[in-house]
């Protein structure tokens, strides 16, 4: 048996089978997960992959050693909606040369990215080893790390891409096994194509690598050599190329695990595979492809039109869901009560259950401290079985029952096992006092003060507005202003700082 195998088995979407996890290099286990697009607040569905792959990250660190795991999760800040806003808000400054496009995008996405970090920290997630932003990888880089334009050039050079109508397209027919992840065969797609084919595409499944921007749209100067001729297309990258570039930049041409939500299998991951394998001439992009199932809310698809759309921030800091706010740890445990590949029904009932469970576990651990070596072997075995978190939680329930006998050893085991799941990191006292403190603030009263402050700002009475900010700050409530993505109006979020 290879020493790189440490008992972990994972379901691989590529083979549709559960397999032994054997990393390419046990000294550096490498994982890439597609991250959020930062134009709006992340919703609770977005939290699922973040939490699921955080558990996997923690497990890999336990099995291989913390310094032997590299986890990359990108930030997608190249997006037509973001670009449009950058141009709308900072177009003049870009034109005058005072701001680059990347800097303008950074200004637009700063608040959202910061909010995302605050959200996932509250959910108990570790920081990934690297969190590259797409904007930084569009053009060739001074440090020589793989970038999108160079990767596209390689695809052109190797006969996998062509230029048509201001676009550079990936030529799917140039890749005999295109479609192996989603099990879609090219011939089926062609024969069955009922949608009108874009006349400039050779095949309907060909997808955009680079797209020309109109004079009104922001763009990067993409320089390419096509059939010996230099061309410049001022444009922007297609959706998939960023992940091929950033994964190669940090993890190399082939790495161990690639993850994301189920919806990304096609076309996003399929096309990442096509780009990376054809550019590098490799048999696989990642050895193991892992996908989390979708989250629903109270039995229905979550959607703004359904009226059940809820952000992580709203769950943590407002009374929108179930008439109260919820500790991040409750959201996290609720999420882990369903196996990651199953559909998950997110409900108030489930959050209440998770909170009751956590109360009981915290009462049992009190203030014990624990180490990795205290982790229960039943719990570890469950996680090694394709992240069976429901089995892991069952093991924690058993430990909890055992603590009734008063054995400190068992309490330590419960604490260490919880910590591996990213929960039970506090002491009993910290947990219960934090809950009491959050119950003491009155969100309705805070919203009222925020509305009053915004009214003062509109009247340019900044002294009065600042006084309200100070007053709330005195109660431990911190205000954060942001622009409404739709109307551009100033809005304010708040959170309790302890
Ligand atoms: P997006 O910002 O929409 O590209 O999504 C970021 C990540 O969240 C991707 O991995 C998606 O697959 C995942 N995701 C989006 N919606 C849901 C949902 N309702 N349930 C689970 N995962 C989701
Ligand atoms: Zn991706």
Per residue in 106-120, pLDDT (tens digit) is: 999 988 999 999 999
The tens digit of pLDDT for each residue in 47-66 reads: 999 999 999 999 999 999 99
What's phi and psi for 482, nearest 5 deg?
A: -155, 165
Which secondary structure element, helix H or strand E, spans residue 418, and what is its range? helix 408-420
41 Cα–ligand 1 center, Å: 12
pLDDT of residue 192: 46
Categorize the per-residue pLDDT at 196 as very low, low, confident or very high, splitting at 50, 70 and 90: low
Q: Is the pLDDT of residue 363 over 90?
A: yes
Whether the per-residue pLDDT at 193 is higher than 60: the answer is no
Cβ(86)–Cβ(101) below 8 Å: yes
Distance from Cα 33 to the centre of ligand 2, integer Å: 7
CA of residue 361 to ligand 1 center, whole Å: 30
Report the candidate in 382, 288, 398, 295 with the shortest Cα–Cα distance to residue 340: 295
Which ligand 1 atom is at minimum distance from the Cα of 35?
A: 6
Residue showing tokens 């954060």: 480
Over residues 376-403, mean pLDDT: 97
Residue 406 makes CB contacts below 8 A (sequence gap 6+) with: none
Q: What is the pLDDT of residue 376?
A: 96
Q: Which atom of ligand 1 is nearest to the CA of 43?
A: 16
Say yes or no: CB of residue 34 within 6 Å of ligand 1: yes
pLDDT of 218 reads 81
| pLDDT for 1 | 56
Q: Which residues surround ligand 2, an ion (CB under 5 A)?
A: 34, 243
Q: Is the CB of 48 under 6 A from ligand 1?
A: yes
Average pLDDT, the chain: 93
Residues 86-110: tens digit of each pLDDT: 888 899 999 899 999 999 999 999 8
Highest mean pLDDT among 187-201, 215-229, 248-262: 248-262
Instruction: Report pLDDT for 198.
Output: 81
Decide whether any atom of ligand 1 lies within 6 Å of the 124 Cβ.
no
Say if CB 262 and CB 294 are below 8 A apart: yes
**Mean pLDDT (whole number) for 199-228:** 93
Give the pLDDT confidence score for residue 221 in this predicted structure: 96
């Amino acid at each position: 048996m290879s020493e790189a195998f440490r008992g972990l088995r994972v379901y691989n979407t590529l083979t549709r089978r559960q397999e032994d996890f054997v990393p390419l290099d046990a000294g550096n286990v490498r994982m890439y997960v597609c991250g959020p697009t930062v134009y709006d607040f992340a919703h609770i569905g977005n939290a699922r992959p973040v939490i699921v792959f955080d558990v996997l990250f923690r497990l890999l660190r336990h099995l291989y050693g913390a310094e032997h795991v590299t986890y990359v999760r990108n930030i997608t800040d190249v997006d037509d909606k973001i670009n449009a806003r950058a141009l709308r808000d900072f177009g003049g400054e870009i034109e005058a040369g005072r701001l680059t496009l990347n800097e303008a995008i950074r200004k637009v996405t700063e608040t959202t990215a910061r909010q995302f970090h605050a959200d996932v920290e509250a959910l108990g997630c570790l920081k990934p080893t690297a969190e590259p932003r797409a904007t930084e990888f569009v053009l060739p880089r001074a440090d020589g790390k793989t970038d999108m334009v160079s990767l596209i050039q390689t695809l052109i050079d190797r006969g996998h891409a062509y230029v048509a109508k201001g676009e550079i397209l990936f030529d799917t027919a140039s890749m005999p096994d295109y479609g192996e992840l989603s099990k879609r065969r090219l011939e089926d797609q062609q024969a069955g194509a009922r949608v009108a084919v874009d006349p400039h595409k050779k095949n309907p499944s060909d997808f955009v690598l680079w797209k020309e921007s109109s004079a009104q749209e922001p763009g990067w100067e993409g320089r390419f050599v096509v059939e010996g001729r230099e061309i410049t297309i001022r444009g922007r990258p297609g959706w998939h190329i960023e992940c091929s570039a950033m994964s190669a930049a940090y993890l190399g041409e082939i790495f161990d695990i690639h993850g994301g939500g189920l919806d990304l299998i096609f076309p996003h991951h399929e096309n990442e595979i096509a780009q990376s394998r054809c550019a590098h001439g490799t048999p696989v992009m990642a050895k193991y492809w892992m996908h989390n199932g979708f989250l629903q809310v109270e039995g229905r698809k979550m959607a703004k039109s359904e009226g059940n759309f809820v952000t992580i921030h709203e769950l943590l800091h407002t009374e929108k869901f179930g008439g109260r706010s919820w500790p991040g740890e409750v959201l996290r445990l609720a999420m882990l009560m369903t196996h990651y590949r199953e559909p998950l029904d997110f409900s108030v009932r489930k959050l209440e259950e998770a909170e009751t469970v956590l109360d009981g576990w915290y009462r049992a651990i009190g203030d014990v401290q624990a180490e990795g070596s205290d982790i229960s072997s039943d719990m570890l075995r469950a996680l090694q079985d394709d992240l069976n978190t429901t089995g892991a939680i069952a093991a924690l329930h058993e430990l909890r029952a055992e603590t009734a006998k008063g054995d400190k050893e068992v309490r330590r085991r419960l604490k260490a096992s919880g910590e591996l799941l990213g929960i039970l990191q506090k002491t009993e006292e910290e947990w219960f006092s934090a809950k009491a403190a959050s119950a003491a603030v009155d969100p309705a009263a805070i919203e009222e003060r925020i509305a009053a402050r915004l009214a003062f700002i509109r009247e340019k009475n900044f002294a009065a507005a600042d006084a309200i900010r100070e007053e709330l700050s005195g109660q431990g409530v911190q205000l954060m202003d942001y622009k409404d993505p739709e109307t551009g109006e100033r809005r304010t979020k708040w959170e309790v700082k302890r």
